[in-house]
Structure 1
Amino acid sequence: MKEELSSSFDVLLNKLNTWGNTLIENLPNMLLAIAVLLTSYFLARYVSKGVTRLVSKKVPQKSISNLISNLTTVVVVLFGLFLALSILDLNDALMSLLTGAGVAGLVVGLALQGALSNTISGVVLSFRKNIRIGDWVETNGFAGEVIKINLNNFIIKEADNNKVIIPNKTILENPLKNFTLTNKMRVVLGCGVGYESDLDKVETLTKQTVKDCIDQVRSVEDVEFYFEEFGDSSINFIVRFYITSESAIEKLRAKNTVIKALKKAFDKEGVNIPFPIRTLEFNSGLKLQNGVKAAFAAN
């Protein structure tokens, strides 16, 4: 029994001695690996701050700056980790780590396919120069001012002050009209006048009224006027002119101004703007049969 205990104790001492020798031999590498990890950690913090400042100058969205900053931090730290494992000669552990990271990334990517698609779309939208915060856009049946582009969604504020949240993926997959890209906007307004009206007078009066009430219209020649059709109750026309604006709300304001001015001008000059009416005429000259006359007389 004593011999077995002595033998086991000798084996333990040999193991401890071997581990001690290995620790002493690898101590410089261990210290160097720890130094590399600490250096990569502090370096990642400084690089992250620098990247944040640099990206903030190009991309107004804070969420995008934070995302790129965090990705930079992860890359620097992972680089330091791999370098430290290489210094310790742990190539097998390094390969296992890379394999596990690849499998985990594949699983996470499949599980979060929709979310990742919106995130990537958000990054793409943030770097597009033709879509900026404050632009007035129309997309997916909604129109309003872009107030925020997040990693997952696109937020616009409509003219009635309601906010619409649209997934970024939907924005990229559908057409988008940006009214702010051009500083000129054409206003089209339709109206109708009575059949008894002097059409030349209506055209002249309409052009002059638009020119007088819209400061951005410099001359009567800048106003386009076209009669379109003989309607049921009126002769219909459209009037078109340009305004200098980057917001669709100005288009509505210009229409509002012209409608009120045209109504006053037409009323003053006696031009009729008819509403839909139906005239019933009974003196057609047709002779009614005796039976029909008797029926009307009984009623």
Structure 2
Amino acid sequence: MRRVPLEPVTVLINQLRDIARSSVALLPNLTVALIVILLTWLINKLAASALSSTLKRTRLRRSLQELFTLLVSIAIWVLGILIAAVILFPGLTPASILAGLGIGSVAIGFAFKDVFENFLAGIIILFRREMRIGDHVECEGIEGKVAQIAIRESHIRQTDGQLVIVPNSILFKNPVIVRTDQDSRRVTVICGVAYDVDVDEARSVISDAVNACDTVISDEKPIQIFAQEFASSSINFEVTWWTGSKPVEVRTSRDQVVAAVKRALDDAGIEIPFPYRTLTFKEPLPLQRASGGADT
């Protein structure tokens, strides 16, 4: 019967024994490292609560308060994990840790380029004063109310109720129209009258009708009515006024003004023409009396 050589088994047993000794030797360090992690968690909770209470007394926006709380939390956790790593592995030095972080950050940066891009864009957007939660914005065909601005993404609630989650890099790199940056907004409609109508009279009737609408802001910003062009069937007026900046306020005001102008022109006997078409024939057309008609 062939015997198995004992030398490899002995080497394996010795290696396992060394690993066990090393593990037992690391138990105090592991215990202290776990205590450091637990203290880091506790300090992070206390610091976040204290910072949140302090920031609530300031005039900073809620999104900025959340950003500062997050950055402080990240700093506390990074410091705590570094201290625990040095305790667990005494051979580590600050220089070796920084070197490892430098090499690792390059690899992580290439792997998570889009994530970091959105993160940095989110920080810049949070510091903007021109786009706040509740504003109505438009960017790259997306239009709606800003519901939330997070670190990596922003939530846009469209006017039809749908929620669009937009990466912050899109809002940072593309033009953003903030429709509610001011309390008022200009609205324009085109109104046409017939060619035989007195232009000054029509302008006066339209102006009185627009001024009578309660959704029109006429105290601070005047109503403007300009004869715009000679159209195919009418003289077109450009009617411009100011109203609230929210989309629903714009739609409501436009509806009220159009109805008021139509009513005023009808009452004044001023025609709002539809397109006329004049047909010219090269030769005269013969006219034939319809059959079946009664002769008189």
Q: TM-score range by the shorter chain?
A: 0.7 to 0.9
Q: CA RMSD in A?
A: 3.6
Counting only pairs closer than 5 Å after superposition, residues 270-289 of structure 1 correspond to structure 2 as: 270-282=269-281
Greater gyration radius: 1
Q: Are the structure 2 counterparts of residues 60 and 202 from structure 1 closer, same or farther at C-alpha, using a change threshold of 3 Å?
A: same
What's the TM-score, normalizing by structure 2?
0.73
Partner of 1:72: 75
Partner of 2:15: none
* Aligned residue type for 1:60: R
Counting only pairs closer than 5 Å after superposition, residues 127-206 of structure 1 correspond to structure 2 as: 127-206=127-206
Q: Are the structure 2 counterparts of residues 122 and 185 from structure 1 closer, same or farther at C-alpha, using a change threshold of 3 Å?
A: same
Q: Are the structure 2 counterparts of residues 277 and 70 from structure 1 closer, same or farther at C-alpha, using a change threshold of 3 Å?
A: farther
Counting only pairs closer than 5 Å after superposition, residues 47-86 of structure 1 correspond to structure 2 as: 47-54=47-54, 58-61=60-63, 64=67, 67-78=70-81, 80-81=83-84, 84=87
- Displacement, 1:281? 2.6
| Contact 1:226–1:239 (8 Å) recurs in 2 | yes
CA distance in 1, matches of 2:118, 2:205: 53
- Displacement, 1:79? 5.6
- Displacement, 1:276? 2.4
Partner of 2:266: 267
Q: Are the structure 2 counterparts of residues 99 and 272 from structure 1 closer, same or farther at C-alpha, using a change threshold of 3 Å?
A: same
Q: Are the structure 2 counterparts of residues 38 and 154 from structure 1 closer, same or farther at C-alpha, using a change threshold of 3 Å?
A: closer
| Contact 2:36–2:80 (8 Å) recurs in 1 | no
2:165 match: secondary structure: strand
- Displacement, 1:177? 1.8
Q: Are the structure 2 counterparts of residues 32 and 140 from structure 1 closer, same or farther at C-alpha, using a change threshold of 3 Å?
A: closer
| Contact 1:63–1:151 (8 Å) recurs in 2 | no
**For 1:239-274, what per-residue CA distance to the aligned partner results, in whole angstroms no more than 9, with x for missing partners?**
11222x241321221111101111111122221112
1:236 match: secondary structure: strand
What's the TM-score, normalizing by structure 1?
0.73
| Contact 1:134–1:147 (8 Å) recurs in 2 | yes
* Aligned residue type for 1:255: R
Stretches of structure 1 that go unaligned for 5 or more consecutive residues are 1-18, 294-299
Deviates more, 1:249-258 or 1:74-83: 74-83
- Displacement, 1:49? 2.8
- 1:253 is the counterpart of 2:252: yes
Partner of 1:226: 226
CA distance in 2, matches of 1:69, 1:267: 67
* Aligned residue type for 1:107: A
* Aligned residue type for 2:73: N
| Contact 1:45–1:73 (8 Å) recurs in 2 | no
* Aligned residue type for 1:279: T
- Displacement, 1:34? 8.5
2:151 match: secondary structure: coil
CA distance in 1, matches of 2:217, 2:41: 63
* Aligned residue type for 2:274: F
- Displacement, 1:66? 6.1
- Displacement, 1:222? 2.3
**For 1:22-63, what per-residue CA distance to the aligned partner results, in whole angstroms no more than 9, with x for missing partners?**
x9xxx9x99998887765554333223333444566342486
| Contact 2:184–2:242 (8 Å) recurs in 1 | yes
1:68 match: secondary structure: helix
| Contact 2:86–2:92 (8 Å) recurs in 1 | no
**What is the identity percentage for the equivalent residue pairs of Structure 1 and Structure 2?**
27
| Contact 1:133–1:146 (8 Å) recurs in 2 | yes
**For 1:147-175, what per-residue CA distance to the aligned partner results, in whole angstroms no more than 9, with x for missing partners?**
11123222222222233332210111111
| Contact 1:52–1:68 (8 Å) recurs in 2 | no
Q: Are the structure 2 counterparts of residues 248 and 59 from structure 1 closer, same or farther at C-alpha, using a change threshold of 3 Å?
A: same
1:160 match: secondary structure: coil
CA distance in 2, matches of 1:265, 1:186: 22
CA distance in 1, matches of 2:195, 2:54: 67
**For 1:196-221, what per-residue CA distance to the aligned partner results, in whole angstroms no more than 9, with x for missing partners?**
212111100000000012354447x9
- Displacement, 1:115? 1.5
1:180 match: secondary structure: coil
Q: Are the structure 2 counterparts of residues 76 and 100 from structure 1 closer, same or farther at C-alpha, using a change threshold of 3 Å?
A: closer
- Displacement, 1:116? 1.4
Q: Are the structure 2 counterparts of residues 36 and 50 from structure 1 closer, same or farther at C-alpha, using a change threshold of 3 Å?
A: same
